[in-house]
Structure 1
Amino acid sequence: MAKGMLFPDYILESSWEVCNKVGGIYTVLSSRAKTLQDIIRDRIVFIGPDCWTHEIVCPYFREDESLFAEWRLLARDEGIHVRIGRWDIPGQPIAVLVDFKPYFEIKNTIYTKLWEDFQVDSLHAYGDYDEASMFSYATGKVVESFYHHVIGKGKRVVYHGNEWMTGLGLLYIRKHVPEIGTIFTTHATSIGRSIAGNNKPLYDYLYAYNGDQMAGELNMQSKHSIEKQTAKHVDCFTTVSDITANECRELLDKPVDFVLPNGFDNAFVPRGTAFVKKRNTARKRLLEVANALTGSDFGDETLIVSTSGRYEFRNKGIDVFIEAMHRLNNDSALKKNVVAFIEVPGWSGVARQDLVERLNSGLRYDTPLNNPVVTHWLHDPARDNVQNMLNYLWMRNDKNSRVKVIFIPCYLTGSDGVLNLPYYDVVLGNDLCIYPSYYEPWGYTPLESIAFKVPSITTDLAGFGLWANHIKGSYSEIEDGVKVIHRTDYNYQEVAEQIKDTLIAYSAFTEEQVKVARDHADKLSKKALWSKFIGYYEQAYDMALRKASEREE
């Protein structure tokens, strides 16, 4: 940390994804926690939603009633109901889960005050706006109570909220506890994501879009409003990449104060023989599933590739991934058989029983199962984008197809019924991972991929892709560990062709060339460790604390 910079005595940080694994922010917070724990042990406190029941226990949270027991009782007397324990991640930080449901009874009063104090428009709320706002308000009450009863005046404290879902609480603290420095990080603007998700060209017209106007057109007024006003009123407004910083300036009319790139903690990447064993286990299982589903006999020389992440068909580039696999299947230059997995959670049910029976039998089959492209039955296959595109391109995993595409439409938690391996134990079994994103503020999936020594393909519309180019000083190639493809609003066809060409080239790599690419991937990932990136956060903490200090004076 630079000399003279202020650093907090306490960091209180909230997100809908604290102890709640639903997206990339979970990875941001959970991988950064240990670095902060090493600096201010047990004075970093994460606050998340208590959306669990006695029947469904949170698998990421270990309750400890001895932690802040006296405060918990005081908070209860104030109408704040929390469970306190530890987030079961590296560093084991303290986590507070807050029950936000009681605040629905006074929702209209809360929204009225929000309008009067900060001109946030909650009239157009729908979907998850109410739920997120009540959680955010409850978190604000938690921070206020914790500050007064546990921390006390005279300490340097920051409250850091992630995404628009924490905006209401940040504004509450800004008004009611001005001694606390506030930091807001938007990981993707709600309106930018919506523009991209509605198949509108985002980048060529970014300078011309009016955020308020687009929010009205796309029925996003309330989410856009809370995000815009939070950005305006917090002490320090941040985002995760230069790409999203441009969005904030154009769509929220507020430039960010700092860009805080997402780092990674590689403590759970296995080493040495453990790594080799896990990689072999993953490859064996992936090929067993492919063979049982399609009636093939793929061996270990098969090229295993995948894409994964949230099921945003266009934004995450799932469409262009399928198009690239279709072209690859029709190109005679391909040197190896390819099994391509699409690992995104869709609207799916249980694992296919016919597939499970084949896997359990241990026998080899030379005939495919019915619809040999999915591992779990889809509830509404006629409306599923992946299934429809595979059907449209007639990608049915025919016997003669050198490229088989397999859709695993569920979360890889280790108990999916087919692979039965957690995601990180699956990703290291790949030869290449492919993430041709159209809208990707940062891009954790390619960073995770290279941390497990798996070279990846991404685009320069992902923050991570831009960072990889910055490290190299030019466009990064697959030999460097990451292939970064130039992507625009309109060059879908060229992106698909470049993915195909990269896979053909990689399929012809010698063992030594593969080793070099894997080593470069590993080395690049180490440049993105939190120990390197935490310095960006130190700047944000310093700014927020200085502004809070000025208010007190």
Structure 2
Amino acid sequence: MTEGKLFPDYIFESSWEVCNKVGGIYTVLSTRAKTLQTKMRDHIIFIGPDCWGKQRSPYFQEDASLFTDWKVQAKKEGMVLKIGRWSVPGNPIAILVDFSQYYSQKNELYTQLWEDFQVDSLHAYGDYDEASMFSYGAAKVVESFYHFYLGSKYKVVYHGNEWMTGLGLLYIHKYLPEVATLFTTHATSIGRSIAGNNKPLYDYLFAYNGDQMAGELNMQSKHSIEKQTAHYVDCFTTVSDITAKECKELLDKPVDVVLPNGFENDFVPRGEEFTRKRKIARKRAFAIANALLGQDFDDNTLIVSTSGRYEFRNKGVDVYIEAMNRLLRDDRLQRPVLAFIEVPGWVGEPRKDLQERLASGKHFDTPLEVPQITHWLHNMSHDQVLGMLKYLNMQNRKEDRVKLIFLPCYLTGDDGIVNLSYYDVVLGNDLCIYPSYYEPWGYTPLEAIAFHVPCITTDLSGFGLWVNKELGHAGEIEDGVKVIHRTDYNYSEVADNIKDTVAAYSSFSREAVKKSRENAERLSRKALWSHFIKYYEEAYDIALEKAEHRKAK
């Protein structure tokens, strides 16, 4: 903690991804929890949605001994809660909110929101109502807990992540002004939408009007709650310099602090365990490829992959496929390439024919039908990955030196084909490729280099920009991270750059590969939470200053 700065006695932090593994924010919060828990021992309390009902959550352990007296009070106030601990390092306290009861108050809440903060909820659809009711429930938890246990003698911060927590932050701002509010947008809803709708985001950023674009793209309600929350909270933050520019232009509000996403590396196996797990991952990848393609692969094969959310253009899945297609015809490629796309699609079920082959333990010399995919999808004929493979005529023929396999499921260890967790899969890679067009931070490349896997990313990702800053030059694959310059219009150049980098890496000596892998891991250590938590301390100080000022009035 920095001398002279205000630091909270209690932090409440809410997110749709508390004890709910959906995307990168889960990793941000769950890895940072240990650092805050060490510092604040049970004075950091996470609030998430109760998505599990009567089912047992794998990420949450109920604890009947916590806050027993307040629990009685909360029940009297009509709250339906589960109180326990998040099953992550540090085991912080977590409160899960059943928000279904608040739907009956929805219209009154939205009317009040309009009157108080001019938030337009009229155009709400999709997950807007669900997120807003959760957010209201989370705010009610903070309000009740504060009045029951704390009061104005304590310095308290309420930190909300993403637009989904906006309604609750505005509620606290109005009804509990003695609590400092902090809002982090991990990606602006309108920026992500502009990029996802194939509009050029970066060259025209200065000219876009966020409100106008929200109307055009049918995003009025999400944009409205995000913008008004950014304007009213005590401290507004985002995760990278590139998204900070977006916030300033599209939300008309500069951020107060940039909070880069750190992580803990205690999930990375060490020594012999690392070697053993890497061998298992590679053996599994080769077994799946053999069963699917009817060809043998040995350890000379270069395993590469991309992964993340299924945002075809934003995450650069399109340019990754294009690069692999071009690599097919590159004479400089020294090793066969097995390329995976590990992106969860609208998955139906694991392929029975593939399961049977894998269970037999035999080696095969004939491919299965559709030798590009491991699980059947509900929308095979409309899937963007399969559509592009078909368009490019990429059929994983015997003579092709690059084979591309689509793994369209969450790698949680029980998918029916791979049956290994994502972290156990990623360490089998030789290279990971994340050529994002829209990526406020970029956890996947950071995780890859923590596992000693060099990666390729772009300078349109917060992580890529951070790497360049750390290195003092544009990252090369020898540094552990190749950072490709990407713009609104240089798709073809990016594809060539990826192709050239993989081809060059395929001819690296054993010593050069070892050096690149060591550099990757060394770079990842600079992003540990122990280095990045200082930015949060700065944000807490800004928010608390304003709250203390209000209390003094």
User: Same fold by TM-score, threshold 0.5 exceeded?
Assistant: yes
Q: Which residue matches 1:31?
A: 31
Deviations 1:218-275 (A, max 9, x none): 0000000000000000000000000100000000000000000000100111111111
- Unmatched 5+ stretches in structure 1: none
Query: Is it true that 1:381 corresponds to 2:384 in the alignment?
Result: no
Deviations 1:265-316 (A, max 9, x none): 0011111111111111101101111111000101111000000000000000
Between Structure 1 and Structure 2, how many residues are aligned?
552
Q: Secondary structure at the match of 1:266?
A: coil
CA apart distance, 1:536: 0.3
Distance in 1 separating the partners of 2:68 and 2:420? 37
Query: Is it true that 1:16 corresponds to 2:19 in the alignment?
Result: no
Task: State how 1:116-155 maps to structure 2 within 5 Å.
Answer: 116-155=115-154
Q: Secondary structure at the match of 2:203?
A: coil
Q: Which residue matches 1:166?
A: 165
Deviations 1:417-442 (A, max 9, x none): 01100000110000000000000000
Query: Is it true that 1:5 corresponds to 2:43 in the alignment?
Result: no
Distance in 2 separating the partners of 1:72 and 1:342? 46
Query: Is it true that 1:533 corresponds to 2:532 in the alignment?
Result: yes
Distance in 2 separating the partners of 1:99 and 1:173? 19
Deviations 1:69-107 (A, max 9, x none): 211111010011110011000111000000111000010
Distance in 2 separating the partners of 1:300 and 1:439? 34
Deviations 1:348-399 (A, max 9, x none): 1111010011111111111100001100001111110000000110111111
Q: Which residue matches 1:112?
A: 111
Distance in 1 separating the partners of 2:293 and 2:150? 60
Q: Which residue matches 1:487?
A: 486
CA apart distance, 1:550: 0.2
CA apart distance, 1:407: 0.3
CA apart distance, 1:463: 0.2
One-letter amino acid matched to 1:469: N
Task: State how 1:144-543 maps to structure 2 within 5 Å.
Answer: 144-543=143-542
Q: Secondary structure at the match of 2:483?
A: strand
Moved over 3 A (4+): none
One-letter amino acid matched to 1:475: A
One-letter amino acid matched to 2:354: L
Q: Which residue matches 2:50?
A: 50
Distance in 1 separating the partners of 2:393 and 2:405? 14
Distance in 1 separating the partners of 2:151 and 2:51? 29
CA apart distance, 1:57: 2.3
One-letter amino acid matched to 1:85: G
One-letter amino acid matched to 2:10: Y
Distance in 2 separating the partners of 1:100 and 1:396? 48
Q: Which residue matches 1:41?
A: 41
Distance in 2 separating the partners of 1:503 and 1:376? 27
One-letter amino acid matched to 2:444: T
Q: Secondary structure at the match of 2:315?
A: coil
Distance in 2 separating the partners of 1:534 and 1:463? 17
One-letter amino acid matched to 2:23: G
Moved more, 495-504 or 65-74: 65-74
Q: Secondary structure at the match of 1:268?
A: coil
CA apart distance, 1:153: 2.7
Q: Secondary structure at the match of 1:229?
A: helix
Distance in 2 separating the partners of 1:201 and 1:413? 35
CA apart distance, 1:51: 1.3
Q: Percent identity?
A: 72
Q: Secondary structure at the match of 2:405?
A: strand
Distance in 1 separating the partners of 2:63 and 2:263? 27
Q: Secondary structure at the match of 2:206?
A: coil
One-letter amino acid matched to 2:2: A
One-letter amino acid matched to 2:129: D
CA apart distance, 1:115: 0.7
CA apart distance, 1:331: 1.3
Distance in 2 separating the partners of 1:544 and 1:120? 22
Distance in 2 separating the partners of 1:147 and 1:464? 37
CA apart distance, 1:333: 1.4
Distance in 2 separating the partners of 1:322 and 1:113? 48
Q: Which residue matches 1:73?
A: 72
Distance in 2 separating the partners of 1:467 and 1:83? 39
- Unmatched 5+ stretches in structure 2: none
C-alpha RMSD over aligned residues: 0.6
Distance in 2 separating the partners of 1:21 and 1:358? 31
One-letter amino acid matched to 1:20: N
One-letter amino acid matched to 1:68: F
Task: State how 1:85-104 maps to structure 2 within 5 Å.
Answer: 85-104=84-103
Distance in 1 separating the partners of 2:72 and 2:430? 53
Deviations 1:395-416 (A, max 9, x none): 1111111111000000000000
Distance in 2 separating the partners of 1:186 and 1:212? 17
CA apart distance, 1:53: 2.3
One-letter amino acid matched to 1:169: G
Deviations 1:449-469 (A, max 9, x none): 000000000000000000000
Distance in 2 separating the partners of 1:38 and 1:246? 33
CA apart distance, 1:151: 2.5
Distance in 2 separating the partners of 1:82 and 1:524? 41
Q: Which residue matches 1:546?
A: 545
CA apart distance, 1:159: 0.3
Q: Secondary structure at the match of 1:20?
A: coil
